[in-house]
């Protein structure tokens, strides 16, 4: 086998490994080691600390995971699964490891997961169950709930699967958070609005079906809609929303539309509470 063929073979392995792997898994013999050294010298691949070989442009999170012999979890794992987040993950990478290393790269957080299996040439991302459980421990409750709602709705996991791994008193808060997750939530905006209303003492129903369609959140007879611009900007959408509101009013509902900016800047409670109090749907905590 010539150099070009050996190089192609290594490149195929790296591509399948999401762009990075330790050198020892790419060069099993002296000839392969020479090929790899030549590829590094020519700039075909790049060598990083820990003898990690990566294709140019490989994500830092993947390189860090290979350096530590672990799996990517938490926010970067959430995004890799296609789940929504309030904010783009920052530079700090959370890596799940079976044994805590003596030293970790800068801007890296380790989570010790006993008996964690890592395929050195497989996906560098943790499976959905493990990633979500770790994220529930690491993130704030709202961020965790956003990921849980979307994962449940998308069928990535079930509540029973997660609950089966949350035994004992230590996991009581996580089980209670899991109980609050709702697969009917159709967007990050719905989850944020619902969470903040619940924290303020109100308990809206989620995804209520009425003849005109599905309501985002229903508090008493108030239909709280969290309108993202991308789904309500076309003329047909605009007209549908008006027909929907007319039907709701005619049938005794009060439609209340919140913009995405209002929800994302945490104005839900201050906008909903006065309307709900006036109509008698806001809970009286002192009662």
CB 93 within 8 A of CB 108: yes
How many C-beta atoms surround the C-beta of residue 26 within 10 A? Answer: 23
pLDDT > 70 fraction of the chain, expressed in percent and rounded: 96
pLDDT > 90 fraction of the chain, expressed in percent and rounded: 86
In terms of CATH architecture, what is 1-55?
Orthogonal Bundle (1.10)
pTM score: 0.89
- Which CATH class name applies to 185-287? alpha beta
The alpha helices in 17-119, defined as continuous H runs, are 30-42, 60-68, 74-80
> Sign of the C-alpha dihedral, residues 134, 140, 143, 148?
positive
Q: In angstroms, rounded to a whole number, what is the distance separating the alpha carbons of residues 162 and 165?
A: 5
CB 287 within 8 A of CB 216: no
CB 180 within 8 A of CB 186: no
> Sign of the C-alpha dihedral, residues 15, 18, 19, 23?
negative
CA angle 243, 249, 255 (to 5 degrees): 80
Provide the residue ranges of all domains of the chain, joining segments of one domain with +: 1-55, 59-183, 185-287
State how far the alpha carbon of 233 is from the alpha carbons of 38, 239, 247, 251, in Å.
54, 10, 20, 26
CB 76 within 8 A of CB 84: no
Inter-helix orientation angle 141-154/188-199, to 10°: 130
pLDDT value at residue 104:
80
One fold for 1-55 and 185-287: no
Q: For strand 93-97 and strand 108-112, is the pairing parallel, antiparallel, or unpaired?
A: parallel
Confidence class for position 264, pLDDT limits 50, 70, 90: very high
Helix (H, G, I), strand (E, B) or coil at 51: coil
Segment 162-217, tens digit of pLDDT: 999 999 999 999 999 999 999 999 999 999 999 999 999 999 999 999 999 999 99
């Amino acid at each position: 086998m010539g150099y070009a063929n050996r190089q192609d073979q290594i490149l195929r392995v790296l591509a399948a490994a999401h762009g990075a792997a330790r050198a020892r898994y790419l060069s099993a013999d002296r000839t392969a080691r020479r090929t790899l050294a030549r590829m590094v010298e020519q700039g075909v691949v790049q060598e990083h600390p820990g003898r990690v070989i990566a294709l140019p442009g490989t994500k830092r999170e993947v390189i860090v995971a290979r350096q530590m012999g672990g799996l990517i979890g938490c926010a970067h794992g959430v995004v890799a699964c296609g789940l929504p987040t309030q904010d783009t993950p920052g530079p700090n990478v959370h890596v799940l490891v079976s044994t805590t290393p003596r030293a970790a790269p800068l801007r890296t957080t380790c989570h010790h997961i006993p008996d964690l299996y890592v395929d050195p040439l497989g996906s560098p991302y943790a499976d959905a169950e493990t990633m979500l459980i770790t994220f529930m421990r690491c993130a704030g409750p709202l961020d965790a709930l956003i990921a849980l709602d979307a994962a449940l709705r998308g069928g990535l996991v079930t509540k029973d699967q997660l609950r089966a791994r949350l035994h004992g008193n230590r996991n009581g808060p996580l089980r209670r958070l899991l109980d609050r997750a709702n697969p009917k939530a159709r967007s990050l905006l719905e989850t944020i609005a619902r969470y903040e209303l619940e924290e303020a003492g109100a308990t809206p129903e989620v995804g209520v079906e009425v003849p005109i369609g599905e309501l985002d959140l229903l508090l008493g007879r108030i239909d709280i809609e969290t309108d993202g611009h991308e789904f309500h900007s076309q003329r047909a959408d605009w007209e549908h929303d008006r027909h929907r509101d007319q039907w709701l009013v005619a049938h005794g509902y009060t439609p209340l539309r919140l913009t995405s900016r209002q929800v994302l800047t945490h104005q839900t409670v201050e906008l909903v509470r006065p309307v709900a109090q006036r109509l008698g749907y806001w809970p009286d905590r002192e009662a």
